[in-house]
Chains A and B, each alone.
Chain A
Amino acid sequence: MATTHTPVTTPTTLELDYTPQTAPPVVDVDGPPKVHYLNHSFGWLSWLLTVDHKRIGILYLIPLTIFFMCGGIAAGLVRLNLIQPYGAILELDQYNKAFTAHGTIMLFLFLIPVIPGVLGNFFVPMMIGAKDMAFPKLNLASWYVWMGGAMFFIAALLFGGLDTGWTFYPPYSSKYSHTNVIWAGLGVFITGFSSILTGLNIIATVHKMRAPGMTWGRLPLFVWAMYATSVIQILATPVLAMAVCLLATERIFGVGIFDPSLGGDPLLFQHLFWYYSHPAVYIMILPGMGVINEVITCFSRKNIFGYKAVAWSSVGIAVVGFLVWGHHMFLSGQGIYLGMVFSVLTMLVAIPSAVKVFNWTATFYGGQITFEAPMLFTIGFIVLFTIGGLTGLFLGILGTDIHLHDTYFVIAHFHFTMVGGMMFAWQAGLHFYWPKMTGKMYSDFWSRLAAVIMLVGFSLTFLPQFVAGYHGLPRRYPYYPVEFQMMNILSTAGATIQGFGYLMPAVYLPLSLFFGRNAGANPWRATGLEWQTPSPPTMHNFEELPIVTHGPYEYALPSKFTLEDGHAHETKGGNGGH
């Protein structure tokens, strides 16, 4: 059959019909463009001084991957140590430093910046049809600030370590810890500014840079999620900066703020810390949820089920997420009435998360589903995030939290949302957008296998921890009663499998740069504006200003630009007709 290789075209008229009869164009071109954002200039300086949002996305990707591996190694040490009840390899202090390194690196240097930094920078402008972010130089500054903060952090962990846990609770952190609290705090403080600047940039971009016809009702849900995330970043991060400043004031100058022996109140820190850090888990998960919307619609060839519900649930999570921080302090004597308020608000914030899961599942209805790696990661996300969300209910209400508080049940719940949720969403996003970012297609077999291995390894790691937690095993214990050994061994075995799973993309993705076939502009036959550019995109993304006439996920409509069967860039991962 004839291949309809349409050149990069955009409809010339602005249609205002909300029930379009055809889908947006699905374009393809032969191979990558001669000049694209990766090769239009060379040399270190062309990268380090770039203001191109796509290059900045790549600038985030590389250190983030390294930090993820550092955090993963720390996790490996922790898990390895726990195979014996009295510690297999580490001394007590070393264990405390290892779990602190794991927690702080993964949270502050990986989970918070990963999707906003890489996919947010790269794709928010492309999705809304812009040539760049609203403030390109601020965007680069934000990367430098983040790297600067990260350097303080890494230095603190390398030279002496940190043993406070990622929560920095005083008076332990302000008075009793002999480790690098100040330097790590400085790292948190500085990376926080980067978070605020990125958030500002994205909000300005979404408000002012949308292409003609890109109404709020036509924004891809990833953009909605990034917008909600940015609002949290701007409003919550300053509070963390304040908390860290006060902590440093107490630690350096001995001013009594949190330490009761100096006249302070340790609960004050917990209020300030969780006022940031609870919304921060939504900073981590919302962008992931955004990615899931993009992937799930593409691979089931469907509109999202209930666009408005999914978009507003992001906003709802962002708003109510600010009001639930006290559920981390149910047992600290804050009183039952305060506890009840936080508890009922926590139940409230659980509802939009549940709605999202139901809507994603319903999106499959009536689809034409294919199971490439991004889709497998997405299904893994739904499976694991469901468990993560449901077990959160036990912890968010007053009564059941009493016994489960600070046990392995919390650890398992948190990892189910953050790894099972966010990490799988990140993998889904990375695998979904890799062809667009690099122009190359990775191995279909190995990527699917990696998804399955990660799912199996993850489940084996963290399901036993629910059981151990209900039996009372406290978190952050290098030594533990001997009856918990079997559970810990299972967990460690799972972590080993998981580790192999994470190493696989680290091998086949870079290899695809050299050996992968050209992906073509739109290997997944996706509808978003970002797919109407060549892969890799050219410097300014769009040759002509795109005009948007459709909602974001019109997969079910026939497109006059749809590629026919037997096209030149057939991919096993492709969703084109076969």
Chain B
Amino acid sequence: MLLAEGLGLPLWPERATEFAVRYDWLFIYILVVTTIAGLLVYAGLTYLCFRYAKKPGGTSQRVLGSHKLELIWTAIPAAFFLSFFVGSTIIFDEVSHPPADAPEIFVVGKQWMWKIQHPNGVREINELHLQDGVAVKVTITSEDVIHNFGIPAFRNKIDAMPGRYVTTWYKPNKVGTYHIFCDQYCGQGHSQMVGKVHVLSKDDYAAWLEGHKTDAPGTPGDRPTDGTAAWHGQQLFFKLQCINCHNNVYDADSVNSSNRAPNLEGLFGSQVPLEGGKTVPADGAYIRESIRNPEAKVHAGWKAIMPAYPRAQVSEEELGQLVAYIQYLKKGKLPKRTSQDAAPVGAPTAGESLGDKVPPAPIPAPAPKPDDKKLDDKKPEEKKPAPTKGGN
């Protein structure tokens, strides 16, 4: 690594999380042990080569081996390897378990860009703004092929697998700008699937949030704040007619009535009973699977009648928004099923279209399109003066 300085690279790669520091200690420990081991082999090799170089008239000794020595040089490496294994498992365990209260950032890889969505609805492409000292959980998936979301300064990297949610987390502790790389070969533009992560101080982060719609957690009412992930999810919930079955209308008189599907209020985080007595936790991966492939895990007591929604109908990004909405749907949050009649998605809305509260009109473009990257910047005037608590 000493060589690196003066050759374009810093002496030691930057570290912007506490995890990176712990990772480096493990790396250094293994590096020191392996370097010593390697040097011992080289020293032995060099000594023996000189000491036993052929001499005129010399004869070699008939040495067949030594069980004692072999035992030693089997046991010592084995012990060190075991220590590497233990240390690295601890490190991996740490990176696998996000803090429970961390806000969730949703990342979708797509040939060849990263689409990032914050829980407060801010969306970015190839850029990720994080607040110094605030841990975030990151859930990653892909729309097409396998990608890998790597941030060297965080010593973190995770595959973006199509059809799966993979999670990791960061808690940046150093203000700065760092590389985001795609580390899994994904085709022609693989090396351009790069971005920057900006770690901002609390004030800078707040300033950056200016001009972005933010959610207001705990705001009374039964609809999510405009522009947030959950808000987009609600739009989709109507557009895709989810509400037709997943509603809270239980009276048999109504046309289309009835409970053809479970009410999703309070679903997120609960245990869903399946036929046969098993239960499955209702997390993002479960909801995702239940939309893409509804027959995989059917709620006990319900018929498997839900149509599947392939990617042609719901993109990964939209899926993430639906998950955010279902996460938002606490008890009593579900709007009336008939709300949709007054307000087709995309139309300017007014009145009690999406609930009892009057939303500020007009509503911006409903379903996000992949190339809609400047959406956030285009309509700053619509920003709702919602209180932004702690930025998240």
Q: Which residues of A contact B (CB under 8 A)?
A: 92-93, 96, 163-165, 167, 169, 171-172, 175-177, 259-261, 263, 265-267, 300-309, 330-333, 336, 339-340, 343-344, 347-348, 350-351, 354-355, 357-359, 361-362, 364-371, 379, 382-383, 386-387, 390-391, 393-394, 397-403, 405-407, 464, 467-468, 470-472, 474-487, 490, 554-557, 575, 577-578
Contacts and interface: CB of A to CB of B under 8 A. Distances in A.
A459 B44 CA distance: 20
A117 to B, nearest CB: 29
Interface string B1-40: 1011001111001000000000100110010001001100
Contact of B92 (A96, A336, A383, A556): A336
A476 B60 contact: no
B188 A92 contact: yes
A165 B185 contact: yes
Interface residues of B, number: 92
Contacts of A177: 187
A-B pairs, top 9 by smallest CB distance, nearest first, are A260-B163, A472-B152, A399-B88, A399-B91, A366-B61, A306-B65, A556-B62, A364-B48, A398-B92
A309 B148 contact: no
A358 B191 CA distance: 41
Given A351-B81, A386-B41, A403-B23, A365 B88 contact: no
Interface string B61-89: 11111110110011001100110110111
Contact of A347 (B37, B82, B183): B82
A307 B81 contact: no
Given A333-B161, A402-B23, A261 B52 contact: no
Interface string B207-244: 00000000000000000000000000000000000000
Contacts of B301: none
Contacts of A333: 158-159, 161, 164-166
Nearest to A267: B161
B45 interface: yes
Given A302-B60, A479-B191, A467 B88 contact: no
Given A309-B70, A340-B89, A261 B61 contact: no
A340 B84 CA distance: 12
Nearest to A347: B81
Interface in B179-197: 179, 181-192, 194
B182 A474 contact: yes
A382 B41 contact: yes
B163 A266 contact: yes
12 contacts: A92-B188, A169-B184, A176-B187, A301-B54, A304-B65, A331-B157, A366-B60, A397-B84, A472-B13, A477-B190, A483-B8, A557-B62
A435 to B, nearest CB: 19
Contacts of B69: 362
Contacts of B30: 393-394, 400
B38 A361 contact: no
A94 B75 CA distance: 49
A528 B69 CA distance: 27
Contacts of A578: 56
Nearest to A477: B191
Contact of B74 (A351, A371, A487): A351
